[in-house]
Structures are given as C-alpha cells and as structure tokens.
Structure 1
Amino acid sequence: MLLQNDTDYQDEIFKNIIESNQDFFKIQFDHCHFTNCDFSSTQFLSCSFENCSFENCNLSNIRIKDCIFRDTTFTSCKLIGILWYECRQKSFTLSIKFKETVIDYSSFYKLDLQKCSFEDVHATEVDFTEANLCKCKFNNTNLSGTTFIHCNLKKADFSTAVNYQFNLSENQVKDAIFSLPDAIQLLYSFGIKIH
C-alpha cells in the first residue's frame, strides 16, 4: 500500500512498506500499526499520528515538521537523527513510548515530554536541552553523551539508566531518583574527586 497525501487512515495495518526518501503531507493516522517498514529520510509534514504503533521500523533521519504524536509507541525501531522539536506546537505535549529503540543523535529541545517513557532505549548524544522531563522514566536506558541543560527533571527516574552525566545545578532535580554507582558521576561537575 502506497501512502497518499491528504488522506485519513484509520485502523490500518502497514506491513513491509518501503517509502524512504519520500515527501508526505497532511496525512492523518489513527489507530494504525506499522510493522517492518522503512521510512528513512522521509519527510512527514503536517501529519498526525494518534494511538499508533511502530514495530521493527526504520525512521532514521525523518523530518516531522508540524506533526502531532499522541499515544504513539515505537518498539524495536531505529529513530536516529530526528529533530523532534520540529513537531512542536503551542501547548503541545509529546506523548510517546520508546521501547527497545535507538534514538541516537536526536533532539527534543524545549519539548514537553512529561508523557513520554524510555524503556531499554539507546540514547547516545541526544539533546534534551530545556525539555520538561518531569516524572519521566529512563528504564535501562543508555544516556551516553546525552545533554541535559536547564531541564525539569523533578521526579524523573534514572535508577536503572546508565552513562548519564550532567550538572545538577543547571537542572531542576528535586525528588529525581538515581542509583549507585552511576549517580557518582553527578558529583564531577562540582569538581569533587572520589577515591
């Protein structure tokens, strides 16, 4: 099935579709399921994904300008190099679950991510600058090289996350949850040496 611009899809199953390097405009997806699809380097412009799920899909380097994601789940997907902040809208909260997914080199700059969850995610060099991550859970998530600057991390759960390092004084961290030994890295920004 080839996707058509300016179309509404409801309760559709998209399987083994290869639509890389394409441009799609004003498509509404509601309760749709995507399996083993390749949308790498594709542009989705002014599209909406509501109550959708993606499984074993490659969406690396997609562009999602003015798109909406509500109650959408990505499982075992590649989502490398995505500028998620391009889908930002006024008073918009991104509502996504990432499971066993790679989101390396992506940016969530200034986004409200309170309704997002990260489970068994590989998140190398992801940019969360000025994001609202209040109550977010980073279950078994690798945060190597990831940027947290001026973030709301209140009640965020890093207890099973690994390789995170950020300046506590540059973020709101009240009631955030950390565990040893990874939490020791948070002291490095204060110039503290631990032997």
Structure 2
Amino acid sequence: MVENSSFEDRLFEGVRLEGETLAGCTFADCTFRDCAAENCRLLGCTFSGCRFEGCRVTNLRSEGSELRGTDWAASSLVGVNWGELLPSGRFAEPVSSLEDCQLRYNTFTGMSLRRFDFSSCALLRSTFGECDLFESRFFGCRLEGTEFFKCDLRRADFREATGYEVDVLTSRMKGARFSFPEAVNLLHSLEVTVE
C-alpha cells in the first residue's frame, strides 16, 4: 500500500501496479507514460491536471477519490466507473480529453460532458446514464453495445458511429445528427420492427 504521498509535476514511466491500494495520495500536474494499473483501489486520492499517455487501467475501484481535469491519450480503460471519480462540488469533471483511447465496460453517470469530443475513441459495452452530452461528438466512433439513457443528447454528433443504443423515450435528442442505416437502431427502444 502506498499512503499519504504527494507528487507535483513528476513523470512516472513504465510503472506497473497489480492489486495495489493507494491511500491519501495527491498527484498534481503529473504525467504517467506507459503505466498499468490492474485491480487497484484508490482511497481518498486526488489526481489534478494529470496526463496519461499509453496507459492501461483495468477494474479500478475508488472510494472518496477524485480526478480533476485529466487528459488521456492512446490509453486502454476497462471497467472504470467515472462516477466514482467525480470531483467534490462537481465544478470540474474527472476527464478533460480522451484521444485515441479504447474504453470497454466503462460507466459514465451524472456527468456533464458538454461539447466533449469522443470522436477518436472506441467506447465498447459502456453506459452513459443521466449525462449532459449536449453538442458532444461521437463522429465515427465504435460504440458496440454502448447504451445511452436519460441523457441530454441535443445537437450531439453520431454520424458514422456504429453499434450504439439510445433510449429515445428518456433522452433529449433535438438536433442530434445520425447516419443511415445506424439511425434505425434508435427504434430499438421503441420495440419497432423496420422491414
């Protein structure tokens, strides 16, 4: 267990953690490059303004921890519940950018991701629930098995995206953009058959 440590403007490269617990640690403006964390727990930790490049995070669990304005590039994130990482007060979001990332089995709940650009990422078998995705971009995304419910999708861009499921009865969708034939999937939640 790593406890009560503070790091600022540090580079962590090639660090591998498996089944570790970090408790009471603070990371500010740090860069993590080619690092991996599998089945790890964060207890009362804070990551603020950090950048993750080529990292792999699998089955992360968090209690009382928060990410603030983190940037992710060319990383793989499996089984992350972003709602567990929301900053207190919710004035900032845990993630500022995702670029060329692979997300699988991720959960986004109650988050404001207005105008967020997911367009270079694959979000597979993930869930967006009660999220503000106004004007967000999913252009060309692979979204196989990814569900959206009770979301604000107004003016969101799903053109050329594939595999998504949207609960049209609970989501706001005015002005959202979709491509044919994927747009037919919008009828799935209505239990309508198109022949």
Structure (1 or 2) with the greater strand fraction: 2
Identify the residue that residue 34 of structure 2 maps to in structure 1: 36
Letter in 2 for 1:60: T
Note the 1:24-173 alignment, pairs <5 A. 24-88=22-86, 89-94=88-93, 95-114=95-114, 116-173=116-173
User: How many pairs align?
Assistant: 193
Can you give the 5+ residue segments of structure 1 that lack an aligned partner in the other structure?
none
Whole-angstrom CA distance in 1 between matches of 2:160 and 2:26: 36
Whole-angstrom CA distance in 1 between matches of 2:61 and 2:192: 42
The share of aligned pairs that are identical, in percent, is 26
**CA separation of 1:49 and 1:193: change in aligned 2, threshold 3 A:** same
Contact 2:21 2:41 in 1 (8 A): yes
Q: What TM-score, normalized to structure 2? A: 0.87
Whole-angstrom CA distance in 2 between matches of 1:151 and 1:170: 7
Whole-angstrom CA distance in 1 between matches of 2:61 and 2:44: 10
Q: What TM-score, normalized to structure 1? A: 0.87
Whole-angstrom CA distance in 2 between matches of 1:182 and 1:101: 22
Shift of 1:191: 4.8
Whole-angstrom CA distance in 1 between matches of 2:148 and 2:31: 32
**RMSD over aligned Cα atoms:** 2.2
**CA separation of 1:25 and 1:11: change in aligned 2, threshold 3 A:** same
| Greater Cα shift, 87-96 or 68-77 | 87-96
Whole-angstrom CA distance in 1 between matches of 2:10 and 2:115: 25
Which runs of 4 or more aligned residues in structure 1 lie more than 6 Å from their structure 2 counterparts after TM superposition? none
